[in-house]
Amino acid sequence: MKVGIVCPYDWSAPGGVQVHIRDLAVALQRLGHEVSVLTPADDETDLPPYVVSTGGAVSVAYNGSRAKVAIGPISTRRVRRWIREGEFDVLHIHEPLAPSLSILSCWAARGPIVATWHSSMARSRILAAGFSIGQTALEKVSARIAVSEAARQTLVEHMGGDAVLIPNGVDCSLFGEGEPLDGWPGEGGALFFIGRIDEPRKGLPVLLAAMPDIIAAHPDVRLLVAGPGDVEEIEGDLPPEVAEHVTFLGLVSEETKARAFVSADIYVAPNTGGESFGIVLLEAMASGTPVLASDLEAFRRVTDEGRAGAAFANEDPEDLARAAIALLDDVEERERLSREGLLRAREFDWETVAKRVVEVYESVTVTGEKVSEDLRGQLVGRLARGGG
């Protein structure tokens, strides 16, 4: 099968959707399918051979965060050309209503189209205001997938219809085998956080606020922090007695990320909201690293309601500190969480997840029918597609 996948966000900017698409593309290729991914990307980005760039992106506010997206006449022409030349058996569009290549692809294509929802939005004035415009895109979609119950509810409540629930996947083979980073984890206990460090909803401020209590109970504990953002600004705001326990890695490669997981006694996910799944929790579990996460509904589902991961009250530094101290004090509980986490992660291995996605593809494809450019006269489509 020849599959075209649309990524709405800049390939070079770390994010769960990009990781999901990358891993899905690799898994599909392992199953023998031909894959092309269309994405925004800066010219200097080193892209895999299966990825096609539409050019650079601009940063916009979206779903409580900032996303780098591409939209406009140039992007529209490149989307149309990719569809014309691709001769895909199925088009798989991620976040179909994102103001980027995704909604452009919905408007520009016809034929077997599958859409995947990743985001969870409790309230969305954007979706409410753009309901009619969104429907002109969604009427093209043949089948819908949601990566979590929260994402499915967002679709149902805002746009109507339903979706097949197929979770995010994790390539378990990539985690747990690497060597720890030099000097880690050490004897005093080690915590690990990864995420955009200057994005409040990723929760680093909550974790840093918990550190004084954790340090008081475990004076030699260390915190390893990875992810993009202004390290100097955050580091400069830390009290000296906390700063000496924190090591910032900045943006890391996939190899370094895998090594960082096995460099820690506990992976801490202090995210405060806007999460529909939690792929990074599965990566920690696949590494054998015990997980301590805020009690978001999405995280509770990933950790199987606490069987495979500990929890603390969302946005509560004192409760985070209490839970972290308890785990640092309890080797047997950490070992139990490690075992249960490994078992849980294997349930989401991409080898299994990708086969379920292919089943959805097969349900909408028709022998001899390819995805083609839609030249019909939808008003919104005509305005969005531009020339080309």
Between residues 70 and 270, the one the model is more confident about: 270
Per the CB < 8 A criterion, the answer to whether 90 and 4 are in contact is yes
Domains of the chain as residue ranges with CATH: 2-169+349-385 (3.40.50.2000), 172-346 (3.40.50.2000)
Residue percentage of the chain with pLDDT more than 70: 92
Per-residue confidence band for 274, with pLDDT thresholds at 50, 70 and 90: confident
Query: What share of the chain in percent tops pLDDT 90?
Result: 75
CA 55 from chain center: how many Å?
21
User: Which is it for the CA torsion 342, 300, 169, 270, positive or negative?
Assistant: negative
- The mean pLDDT of 229-253, rounded to a whole number, is 95
Mean pLDDT of the chain: 90
pLDDT tens-digit series, residues 40-50: 998 888 999 99
134 band by pLDDT with thresholds 50, 70 and 90: low
Pairing state between β 90-94 and 164-165:
unpaired
Q: Can you give the pLDDT at residue 132?
A: 63
> What digits encode the pLDDT tens for the residues 336-364?
999 999 999 999 999 999 999 999 999 99
* CA dihedral for 49, 16, 26, 109, sign (positive or negative): negative
Write down the pTM of the prediction: 0.78
Spell out the residues 6+ positions from residue 283 whose beta carbon is closer than 8 angstroms to its own.
170, 175, 257, 258, 261, 345
